[in-house]
Amino acid sequence: MKQRNELQTELAGSEFGIKGECVISLMLTKLDIINTVLFMKLHRNVIQMKTGRLKSYESVCKKLEKKGLELSFPVALEKINDLIGVRAICAYVDDIYQVAEMIEKQKDIRIIKVKDYIRNPKKSGYQSLHLILEAAIAFQDGIQWIKIELQLRTAAMDYWANLDHQLRYKRGAKEAESIDGELRQCAEVIADLDQKMLKIRKKIDKI
Amino acid sequence: MKQRNELQTELAGSEFGIKGECVISLMLTKLDIINTVLFMKLHRNVIQMKTGRLKSYESVCKKLEKKGLELSFPVALEKINDLIGVRAICAYVDDIYQVAEMIEKQKDIRIIKVKDYIRNPKKSGYQSLHLILEAAIAFQDGIQWIKIELQLRTAAMDYWANLDHQLRYKRGAKEAESIDGELRQCAEVIADLDQKMLKIRKKIDKI
Amino acid sequence: MKQRNELQTELAGSEFGIKGECVISLMLTKLDIINTVLFMKLHRNVIQMKTGRLKSYESVCKKLEKKGLELSFPVALEKINDLIGVRAICAYVDDIYQVAEMIEKQKDIRIIKVKDYIRNPKKSGYQSLHLILEAAIAFQDGIQWIKIELQLRTAAMDYWANLDHQLRYKRGAKEAESIDGELRQCAEVIADLDQKMLKIRKKIDKI
Amino acid sequence: MKQRNELQTELAGSEFGIKGECVISLMLTKLDIINTVLFMKLHRNVIQMKTGRLKSYESVCKKLEKKGLELSFPVALEKINDLIGVRAICAYVDDIYQVAEMIEKQKDIRIIKVKDYIRNPKKSGYQSLHLILEAAIAFQDGIQWIKIELQLRTAAMDYWANLDHQLRYKRGAKEAESIDGELRQCAEVIADLDQKMLKIRKKIDKI
On whether any CB of chain C is under 8 Å from the CB of B68, the answer is: no
ipTM: 0.89
Burial A100-131 (b: 16+ CB within 10 A, else e): bebbeebebbeeeeeebbbeebeebbbbbbbb
The pLDDT assigned to C156 comes to 95
Q: What is the CA radius of gyration of chain D?
A: 19
Reference D81, options D39, D128, D43; nearest CA is D128
Q: Please give the distance of CA B12 from its chain centroid, rounded to a whole number.
A: 21
- Write down the number of H helices and E strands in chain C: 7, 5
Least confident of B100-104, C112-116, D146-150, D168-172: D168-172
The pLDDT assigned to B13 comes to 67
Q: Which residues pair with C35 in a beta bridge?
A: none
**C-alpha–C-alpha distance, residues C132 and C147, integer Å:** 7
Handedness of CA A169, A174, A176, A177 (dihedral sign): positive
For C13, which residue in chain B has the nearest alpha carbon? B40
Q: Do A163 and B190 touch (CB under 8 A)?
A: no
pLDDT band at B94 (very low <50, low <70, confident <90, very high): very high
pLDDT band at D117 (very low <50, low <70, confident <90, very high): very high
Q: In this structure, are residues A154 and A43 in contact, taking their beta carbons and an 8 Å threshold?
A: no
pLDDT band at A3 (very low <50, low <70, confident <90, very high): low
Q: Please give the distance of CA C185 from its chain centroid, rounded to a whole number.
A: 23
Q: How many residues does chain C have?
A: 207
Q: What is the rounded average pLDDT of the residues D103-119? A: 96
The pLDDT assigned to D4 comes to 56
- From D25, D32, D102, residue closest to A32, measured CB to CB: D25
DSSP assignment letter at B67: T
The pLDDT assigned to D5 comes to 74
Highest mean pLDDT pick, A13-22, A60-69, A166-175: A60-69
Q: Do D21 and A14 touch (CB under 8 A)?
A: no
Q: What is the rounded average pLDDT of the residues B103-122? A: 96
DSSP assignment letter at C171: B
> What distance in Å separates residue B155's CA from the closest CA in chain A?
6
Burial B142-161 (b: 16+ CB within 10 A, else e): eeeebbbbbbbbbbbbbbbb
Distance of CA D133 to CAs D24, D85, D142, Å?
Answer: 12, 10, 19
The pLDDT assigned to A170 comes to 76
Q: In this structure, are residues B25 and C35 in contact, taking their beta carbons and an 8 Å threshold?
A: no
Q: Please give the distance of CA A133 from its chain centroid, rounded to a whole number.
A: 11
pLDDT band at D108 (very low <50, low <70, confident <90, very high): very high
Reference B191, options B96, B122, B116, B118; nearest CA is B118
Q: B175-193, pLDDT tens digit by residue? A: 788 899 999 999 999 999 9
**C-alpha–C-alpha distance, residues D189 and C160, integer Å:** 15
Q: What is the rounded average pLDDT of the residues C74-99? A: 96
Tell how strand B84-90 and strand C84-90 pair up: unpaired
**Spatial CB neighbours of B88, under 8 Å, sequence gap ≥ 6:** B31, B47, B49, B50, B99, B150, B151, B152, B153
Q: A147-204, pLDDT tens digit by residue? A: 999 999 999 999 999 999 988 877 777 778 889 999 999 999 999 999 999 999 999 9
On whether any CB of chain A is under 8 Å from the CB of D105, the answer is: yes
Reference A161, options A131, A191, A195; nearest CA is A191
Handedness of CA A192, A45, A102, A161 (dihedral sign): negative
DSSP assignment letter at A173: B
For A44, which residue in chain B has the nearest alpha carbon? B166
The pLDDT assigned to A1 comes to 43
- From A163, A175, A185, residue closest to B207, measured CB to CB: A175
Name the percent of chain D lying above pLDDT 90.
81
3-state secondary structure of A110: strand
Q: What is the rounded average pLDDT of the residues A93-122? A: 96
Q: What is the rounded average pLDDT of the residues C162-171? A: 84
Name the percent of chain A lying above pLDDT 70.
97
Residue numbers in C near B108 (CB within 8 A): 107-108
The pLDDT assigned to C109 comes to 95
On whether any CB of chain A is under 8 Å from the CB of B42, the answer is: no
How many Cβ contacts (< 8 angstroms) between chains A and D? 73
List the D47-54 sheet strands across, edge first: D47-54, D84-90, D142-154, D129-139, D109-116
Reference B99, options B27, B163, B171; nearest CA is B27
**C-alpha–C-alpha distance, residues A125 and A156, integer Å:** 12
Tell how strand C47-54 and strand A129-139 pair up: unpaired
Which chains are adjacent to chain D, needing at least 3 Cβ pairs under 8 Å? A, C
Which chains are adjacent to chain C, needing at least 3 Cβ pairs under 8 Å? B, D
Q: C31-85, pLDDT tens digit by residue? A: 999 999 999 999 999 999 999 999 999 899 999 999 999 999 999 999 999 999 9
**C-alpha–C-alpha distance, residues A192 and A200, integer Å:** 12
Q: Do B136 and C107 touch (CB under 8 A)?
A: yes
Q: In this structure, are residues A107 and D139 in contact, taking their beta carbons and an 8 Å threshold?
A: no
Write a three-state SS string for D67-136.
Answer: CCCCCCHHHHHHHCCCCEEEEEEECCHHHHHHHHHHHHCCCCEEEEEEEECCCCCCCCCCCCEEEEEEEE
The pLDDT assigned to C1 comes to 43
DSSP assignment letter at B140: T
> What distance in Å separates residue C143's CA from the closest CA in chain B?
8
Q: Based on the number of CB atoms within 10 Å of its own CB, is C8 exposed (0-12), middle (13-18) or buried (19 or more)?
A: middle
Q: D125-181, pLDDT tens digit by residue? A: 999 999 999 999 998 888 999 999 999 999 999 999 999 998 887 777 777 888 999
**C-alpha–C-alpha distance, residues C61 and C74, integer Å:** 13
pLDDT band at D6 (very low <50, low <70, confident <90, very high): confident
Helix axes A93-104, A14-42, angle to 10 degrees: 120
- From D21, D36, D106, residue closest to A22, measured CB to CB: D36
The pLDDT assigned to D147 comes to 97
Q: In this structure, are residues C187 and D150 in contact, taking their beta carbons and an 8 Å threshold?
A: no
**Spatial CB neighbours of D83, under 8 Å, sequence gap ≥ 6:** D11, D20, D54, D55, D60, D76, D77, D147
> What distance in Å separates residue B156's CA from the closest CA in chain A?
6
The pLDDT assigned to A13 comes to 67
The pLDDT assigned to C76 comes to 94
> What distance in Å separates residue D69's CA from the closest CA in chain A?
31
Mean of per-residue pLDDT scores for chain D: 92
Query: In this model, does residue D51 exceed pLDDT 90?
Result: yes
B199 or B8, which is more confident?
B199
Least confident of A12-16, A142-146, B37-41, B74-78: A12-16
Q: In this structure, are residues A184 and A155 in contact, taking their beta carbons and an 8 Å threshold?
A: no
The pLDDT assigned to B4 comes to 56
What DSSP letter does each residue of B78-99 carry, written as one string? HH-TTSEEEEEEESSHHHHHHH
Q: Which residues pair with A87 in a beta bridge?
A: A51, A151
A192 or C13, which is more confident?
A192
3-state secondary structure of A188: helix
Q: B19-60, pLDDT tens digit by residue? A: 999 999 999 999 999 999 999 999 999 999 999 999 999 899
On whether any CB of chain A is under 8 Å from the CB of D188, the answer is: no
Q: Which residues pair with B48 in a beta bridge?
A: none
Q: How many residues does chain B have?
A: 207
A73 or D1, which is more confident?
A73
Query: In this model, does residue B1 exceed pLDDT 50?
Result: no
Query: What phi and psi, each to the nearest 5 degrees, are found at residue B106?
Result: -70, 135
Kindly report the pTM of this predicted structure. Answer: 0.91
Mean of per-residue pLDDT scores for chain C: 92
3-state secondary structure of C120: coil
**Spatial CB neighbours of B207, under 8 Å, sequence gap ≥ 6:** A170, A173, A175, A176
Query: In this model, does residue D46 exceed pLDDT 60?
Result: yes
- From B25, B40, B108, residue closest to C14, measured CB to CB: B40
* H or E, element range at C90: strand C84-90
> Quick one: residue A43, left, alpha or beta (phi over 0 = left, psi -120 to 50 = alpha)?
left
Query: In this model, does residue C4 exceed pLDDT 60?
Result: no
Handedness of CA A63, A67, A72, A77 (dihedral sign): negative
Q: In this structure, are residues D50 and D87 in contact, taking their beta carbons and an 8 Å threshold?
A: yes
**C-alpha–C-alpha distance, residues A188 and A195, integer Å:** 11
The pLDDT assigned to D1 comes to 43
The pLDDT assigned to B178 comes to 86
On whether any CB of chain A is under 8 Å from the CB of D141, the answer is: no
Residue numbers in A near D106 (CB within 8 A): 138
Q: A97-110, pLDDT tens digit by residue? A: 999 999 999 989 99
**C-alpha–C-alpha distance, residues C56 and A20, integer Å:** 23
